Amino acid sequence: MAQTSISRTKSKAKTTGKKEHSEFYRNVILPSVTYKVGSLLETKDVALTYKKQPSLGKVDIEKHRNSLQRELSIDMLRQGYHQSFRELSTLLAWQKEDRERLATEHPLYRRPLLDEEPDKLRFLCVYLNKAEEAERKCQYSNMFKSYLEVASFFIKSDDYWLSDFFHKKCLSLTETYSQLDSELSSQAYFHVGLSYERQGYLGDLLKALEYFEKYREFGGNYYEGRINANHQLVRIYTKLAERQSNTDALKYITKAYEASIQTDDKKVESSISYKLGLIYLEHNDIDSALKYLEQYYNYCEQVNDHEGFGQASEALAICYQRKSNVEKSTKYLTKYLQKVSTNANDKQYVKACSALGLIDAALGNYDSARKYSKKAYSISLNKKYPDLDRYRVLYGIADGLKLQSFFKDRIDQMNTHALLEWKLTRFENYLIKSKP
C-alpha cells in the first residue's frame, strides 16, 4: 500500500509541470500521422518566416566585417569628405606611434586607443565632416567653430593631446585667413595659450605668455575678452615669477601689476600689489614696497578682509622696522591687534600677537615681546593650532633675549656656579636675584 501511494505521488509530481494529458491522448493521438503532419506544417511555417526575413545586403555584411575605423573612413569617403578621412588616419597613426615610442609601463597605456572608443570616433568624424563642408563653401568661421567644438569635447573627456591639436588648427586658420572675426581669433590665441600653460615646462610657459599677449591684443575691441585676457596674463606672470630667480621675478610681477590694473578688478589688483610689495621688500627697495603694501592695506581695510589685513600690517611693520621707524611699525601692529582683538581666540589674534612680539624683540623691547609671544603661544597651545612650534620657538627666543644681559653679566663675572644652577631650573628669579 505504501509503495503504490509513493509511486502515485511521484507520477503526480511529474505531470503537474506539463499540460495534463490523458492516457488516451498519449497513446493514440500523439503517435498518429495527422499529428505528425501538423507539426511538419509548423516547421514549414517557421521556414517560411525565416525566408521572409530580409537578407543582409552587401553593405551590411561589410559593416559587420570591417573595423570601426575602416567603416567610418569608407563612409566619409563615399560622401566625398577626403580631407576628414586623411585627418582621421593621421590622428590614429600618430597616437599609435606615440604609444610605441613611450615605454610600455607608461600610465597613458591604460587608456584605450582612440580606435576602440566608438562615440569619440563618431563625434570626431561628424565634426570633421562639418569642417570640410564649411571649407568647401569658404565659410571659414563655421569651420573654425566646428574645430572649436571638437576641441572642447576632447577637453571634457581628458584627451588633451587631441584638444591641443585642434586648438592649434584653429590658430592656423586665424593666421591664414585674416579676415576672420577678431573675436574668434582672440579665442584661438586664448585656448592655445591655455594648452601651453597646462604643459607646465618653462619654455611652454613663455610661449603661453606670448599667446596671451596676442589674445589681449586681438580682444581689444571686445570688452569681456580684454578683461579675461588680463586675468590670464596676471596668472601667467605670477606663475613665471614663482619659478624664476629674483631679478626676473620682479619684472614679471611688475608686468602682472600692469595687467591687473586693466582688469578692473580691485581684488586682483590689490593682491598683485601685495606680491609686488613683498618682492620689493626682498630686494630691499623699501619705498616702492611701502607704496604697494599700503595700497593692499587700504583695500583690505575697505573690504574687511582680516587675514589680508593682517598680512599687510605685518609686511608694513617689517618695512618700517627695516627703515628703523619704530613708532610706525608698532602703530600698524597695534592697530592690527585692536582690529582683531574682538575675538581673543582667533587665529588672526594669535598671529598679530606673535608679529608684535617679533617686532618688539627686534627693537629691543624684550618685556613686551615676551608678553605677546607668551600670549600667542598659550592660545595656540590651547587651541592646538598647527603653527604651535613656531610660537613656541618665538616665545623661547623672547624669553632668552630678555635674560640676555643678565646672562652676559654672569659670564663676565665667570660665575659659572650661578649659571649652572639657573640652567637646572631656568627660573628667571635665579638670574635676576643675584644681580649685584
Partner 1 sequence: MATAELVYPLAFPKSIAHKCEICGKTASRMCAKCRVTFYCSEEHQIADNVGIHDKICPTLATLRSKQPFLPSEEERRDRDHEIREKKLHLIEVTRMIGERHVFQNRYDAAIPAALASLKLAMDVYGPRSVELIPSYLILSEASLGLKQLNQCWEYLSQAQYTVLQQQNQAPPAITSQVARNMAQLSIARKDYDEAARHLANDIYDASLYYGTEHYKVAGGYFLLGKVFKLMNRLEVTESLYTQVTQMWYYHLRRLLQSRVVFSDMDAILGKNDDEDEEDETTKSSKLDLATEAEAHNTLQTLLAYRLENHHGNPMIQELNKIYHCFTILYFLARDYIQVHDSMNKIKDCNVKEIDDDQQRILKFLDQLNRMKSLMKRQQQEN
Q: Which of 10, 21, 82, 383 binds partner 1 (CB under 8 A)?
A: 82
SS3 per-residue string spanning the chain: CHHHHHHHHHHHHHHHHCCCCCHHHHHHHCCCHHHHHHHHHHHHHHHHHHHHCCCCCHHHHHHHHCCHHHHHHHHHHHCCCHHHHHHHHHHHHHHHHHHHHCCCCCHHHHCCCHHHCHHHHHHHHHHHHHHHHHHHCCCHHHHHHHHHHHHHHHHHCCCHHHHHHHHHHHHHHHHHCCCCCHHHHHHHHHHHHHHHHHHCCHHHHHHHHHHHHHHHHHHHHCHHHHHHHHHHHHHHHHHHHHHCCHHHHHHHHHHHHHHHHCCCCHHHHHHHHHHHHHHHHHCCCHHHHHHHHHHHHHHHHHHCCHHHHHHHHHHHHHHHHHCCCHHHHHHHHHHHHHHHCCCCCCHHHHHHHHHHHHHHHHHCCHHHHHHHHHHHHHHHHHHCCCCHHHHHHHHHHHHHHHCHHHHHHHHHCCCHHHHHHHHHHCCHHHHHHCCC
Nearer to partner 1 (CB atom), residue 132 or residue 164: 132
Q: Does 378 bind partner 1 (CB under 8 A)?
A: no
In the range 50-69, which residues lie near partner 1 by CB under 8 A?
Answer: 59
Nearer to partner 1 (CB atom), residue 137 or residue 435: 137
Closest approach, Cβ 75 to partner 1, in A, equals: 8
Closest approach, Cβ 184 to partner 1, in A, equals: 23
Nearer to partner 1 (CB atom), residue 91 or residue 229: 91
Closest approach, Cβ 214 to partner 1, in A, equals: 28
Query: Which residue in the block uniquely carries the three cell numbers 618688539?
Result: 360
Closest approach, Cβ 72 to partner 1, in A, equals: 10
Closest approach, Cβ 73 to partner 1, in A, equals: 5
Q: Does 90 bind partner 1 (CB under 8 A)?
A: yes
In the range 123-152, which residues lie near partner 1 by CB under 8 A?
Answer: 132, 135-137
Total site size for partner 1, rule CB under 8 A: 19
Q: Which of 89, 157, 302, 405 binds partner 1 (CB under 8 A)?
A: 89
Q: Which of 29, 47, 68, 77 binds partner 1 (CB under 8 A)?
A: 77
Nearer to partner 1 (CB atom), residue 74 or residue 418: 74
Closest approach, Cβ 127 to partner 1, in A, equals: 18
Stretch that binds partner 1, among 72-80, 174-182, 264-272, 349-357 (CB under 8 A): 72-80
Closest approach, Cβ 81 to partner 1, in A, equals: 8
Contact flags string 12-51 toward partner 1, x per CB under 8 A: ----------------------------------------
Q: Does 85 bind partner 1 (CB under 8 A)?
A: yes
Closest approach, Cβ 93 to partner 1, in A, equals: 9
Q: Does 227 bind partner 1 (CB under 8 A)?
A: no
Q: Does 78 bind partner 1 (CB under 8 A)?
A: yes
State how far Cα 407 lies from the chain centre.
54
Q: Does 86 bind partner 1 (CB under 8 A)?
A: yes
Q: Which of 15, 28, 80, 98 binds partner 1 (CB under 8 A)?
A: 80
- What is the distance between the terminal CA atoms of the chain, rounded to a whole angstrom? 126
State how far Cα 385 lies from the chain centre.
28
Contacting residues toward partner 1, per CB under 8 A: 59, 70, 73-78, 80, 82-83, 85-86, 89-90, 132, 135-137
